[in-house]
Structure 1
Amino acid sequence: MEGDFIKINNWLSPLSCLYGLGVGFRNMLFEMGILKSRAFSVPVISVGNITVGGTGKTPHVEHLVRLLKDEANVAVLSRGYKRKTSGFLVATKESTASDIGDEPFQMKKKFPDLTVAVDKKRARGIEKLISYPYDIDVVLLDDAFQHRYVKPGINILLVDYHRLIIYDRLLPAGRLREPLSGKNRADIVIVTKCPRNLTPMNFRVITKAMDLYPYQRLYFTTLKYDDRLYLLKDDGKSPNAKRSLNSLAQQHVLLLTGIASPRQMIEDLSPMTRELTPLSFSDHHEFTPADVKRINETFEAMPHPRCIVTTEKDAARISAVAGLSDDVCQHLYVLPVRIEFLLDKEDNFNQNIIGYVRKNSRNSILAKGKDDHNTKDSNNSRNRSRTISF
């Protein structure tokens, strides 16, 4: 199978060269100033990748939300992938995943007071968010690393540990959406979904292979699972509306996912269960009647005791699916996921972000604290050749 995959990739290599020429020409137009990147008067932090498929953007954006929501009036701006609406739209408590996309829906549900907006034209979206009546202090751009019409103050590039960009190839032979040199635009690079048992040698090898510039900072994160799972379709009467992560040890678990890269989740949860059965669909998958039948039949064939575990992102779509059996609905649990920084680097990352926001905020309350950080950040800022100062 692996040999066939490599052979197919080799046949596609000429197409990758043509694709690379097109993307490279577009990037050159931005570098020459023919295509314009727009900066804004408020701190803008972009989180994204240069590969097809998920790298854990949503939990990383959520980390930034938790970090900044008590410091500033924060907004998350997303394209709203696969939504059924168009133009600029601000999410409300009545918004559905169909209205705004599954990831923005997940964030709005988790942070009801957070301003979540969608707009394919990010510059227009930011312009609206920082004006009346929103008056946002900080904009977090979800999946916007390649949206070069906006010039963020901090550009965060996420790289999946299991699909490192340094070993990948351009589309369609590989998964890269632009040449590897695109990583040079990042201020921060985060290797995501790392196993917890990485050795010091693993870190050194990846750090060297990433070949980053001195102005770029490299972090490693892993998935951290909440201790409590909750029933997706809770009618308020079920005595089993919540269960502990430890309770899965005696369960035959069907792991139902529609994410791009479930590998690390499968590896993490397998030892925590009696037996784990993965049922994986493509990223942002829209479940069909045939899929629902497959879910029902797969679960029905599993031995007792049994349950289904899915992600928050998938829950946004599954909650609207019709035809799931009563047995499935009574045993379908959602597992919240966060990120955890490895090598004790979380405080360092957090202070870099908070320092940037305070220094560049137009909000006088936020800017008040920036003098406390200037001394700490001054040594780093001398080494920076970009607009961002840490």
Structure 2
Amino acid sequence: MKYLRWLLLPFSLLYGLVVIIRNWFYDAGFFKSYQFDKPVISIGNLDVGGAGKSPMAEYLIRLLKDDYKLATLSRGYGRETKGYLVGESRIKNQESGKENENSQLTTHYSLLSNQIGDEPAQFKHKFPDITVAVCEKRVEGLNQLLPEHDLVILDDAYQHRAVTAGLGILLFDYNRLNEPHLLLPAGDLREPFSGRWRAQVIVVTKCPATLTNGQKENAYQKVAPGPYQQLFFSTIAYQPLQRLDGKPVNTGIDKDTTVFLLTGIANAKPLLQYLNGFTTHVIHHKYPDHHPFTLKNITKLAAEFVACKTEKKLIITTEKDAQRLEDSWFRWPLPADESLPVFVVPIKVEFLDESGQQFDQLINNYVREHTTYNSIH
């Protein structure tokens, strides 16, 4: 399949020409790009697929939320709504206009995901006290948010040139550094590799926890940052299993466990590798990124789970995928007072070689210097 993509190279050249002209228009000032007085941090990557934008956004939220009134702004990919919308902690009943207090938490998350998208719903689920907003037009969203907030984190907005973020954080997946720099549709780049020059900070994500100096140097040569760009290396830190509602459990995985893995993310390989470190019995139900799970999908999974004769078995999914699931789907075909054992594997970003302190200081210095006042909420 990957060799067939080379046949699409002429279309990549055409696509690249359009992107280059578009970027030149912004750089030359023919297209308006808006700047803002308050701190705006943009997180993004050059290619399609997951480079760890959501975990990085969560890292920044944890770092800043206690000292500043913070908001996140996303496009809201996959949502059923349009325009500017703020995610609410509770979904209003459309018929009565009242809060549906009796709904299951995961049903609530699924409804919220339909309104604002799965990744913003995940932010709201984990950080209910911050403002989580979505808007296709980031300028409009920022104009709505900044008067009432100290700073805004833009998720997946690196190619949104209508906004000039005060601080641009560009992510590269360590496992994809050796891939050729080909544009869509022959490759995976959304813009030429030279687009990395717009970032102030570059983070190579999903590195091995035991990254050697030689591997670092090789990655440095691949990314080739400019003299004004700071380069960091981070890894994924998998956390203990949780229930769908985020509550901790004592359940563990060992070599005798059969894991039914349900994913609808861009790259599930790191998670598979992590699980294979515990057990070789992993049955993967894989769907495309942002896949809207249906009862039919879950029925198929449940039927396979029940048919499995292994004594120790469980279902695992990601935090992002959990936003698109409903608790009621996992109650078939068991008795009414039981449900299938479905758990989430949370992840966090960890910086290598204690460089996290330097990264934190860089972020804090930028926000402090560009905030007219600090507010602890």
TM-score, normalised with respect to structure 1: 0.85
Change in Cα spacing, 1:288 to 1:247, as seen in structure 2 (3 Å) is closer
Secondary structure in structure 1 of the residue aligned to 2:277: helix
Contact 1:108 1:116 in 2 (8 A): yes
Structure 1 residue 107 and structure 2 residue 103: aligned?
Answer: no
Counterpart check, 1:308 vs 2:320: no
Q: How far is 1:31 from its partner?
A: 0.7
Identify the residue that residue 226 of structure 2 maps to in structure 1. 213
CA contact (8 A) 2:203 2:231 kept: yes
Match of 1:123 in 2: 139
Contact 1:91 1:100 in 2 (8 A): yes
- Structure 2: state its 5+ residue gaps: 92-111
> Which amino acid is the alignment partner of residue 171 of structure 2?
L
Structure 2 distance, partners of 1:233, 1:129, is 28
Q: Distance in 1 between matches of 2:328 and 2:30?
A: 46
Contact 2:299 2:329 (C-alpha < 8 Å) held by counterparts: no
Q: Which has the higher contact order (CA 8 A, sep 6+)?
A: 2
Shift of 1:218: 1.2
Identify which of 197, 202, 205 aligns with 2:215.
202
Q: Which residue of 2 aligns with 1:70?
A: 66
Q: Does 1:226 align with 2:232?
A: no
Higher helix share: 1
The range that moved more, 189-198 or 325-334, is 325-334
Q: 1:330 deviation in Å?
A: 2.4
Q: 1:5 aligned to 2:18?
A: no
SS at match of 1:173: coil
CA distance in 1, matches of 2:143, 2:222: 39
Q: How many residues align?
A: 352
> Structure 1 CA distance, aligned partners of 2:181 and 2:159?
17
Task: Report the Cα offset of residue 29 of structure 1.
Answer: 0.4
CA contact (8 A) 1:166 1:210 kept: no
Aligned positions of 1:80-99 closer than 5 A: 80-95=76-91, 96-99=112-115
Which of the numbers 251, 263, 276 marks the counterpart of 1:270? 276
Contact 2:68–2:374 (CA<8 Å) still a contact in 1? Answer: no
Shift of 1:184: 0.9
Query: Could you say which residue in structure 2 is the equivalent of 1:373?
Result: none
2:11 to 8, 12, 15: 15
Residue by residue over 1:175-210, the C-alpha shift from the partner in whole angstroms, topping out at 9 and shown as x without a partner, is 101111111111111111122232221111011121
Q: 1:123 to 1:299 in 2, by over 3 A?
A: same
CA contact (8 A) 1:222 1:341 kept: yes
Distance 1:124 1:288, change over 3 A: same
Change beyond 3 A, Cα 1:45–1:245 = farther
SS of the residue aligned with 1:181? Answer: helix
Give the AA of the match of 1:125.
G
The one-letter amino acid of 1:100's match is I
Q: Secondary structure at the match of 1:151?
A: coil
| Structure-1 separation of matches of 2:196 and 2:43 | 13
The question of whether the paired residues in 1 share the 8 Å contact of 2:174 and 2:219 is answered with no
Deviation of residue 249 (structure 1)? 4.9
Cα distance 1:104–1:311, how it changes in 2: closer, same or farther (>3 A)?
Answer: same
State the 1:299 CA deviation. Answer: 2.1
Give per-residue Cα distances to partners, 1:137-159, cap 9 Å, x unaligned.
01000110000111111101111
> What is the TM-score of this pair, normalised by structure 2?
0.88
Q: Which runs of 4+ in 1 moved over 6 A?
A: none
Q: Are 1:47 and 2:43 an aligned pair?
A: yes
Q: Any gaps of 5 or more consecutive residues in structure 1?
A: 235-240, 367-390
Inter-partner Cα distance in structure 2 for 1:110 and 1:285: 21
RMSD between superposed Cα atoms in Å: 2.1
CA distance in 1, matches of 2:288, 2:177: 20
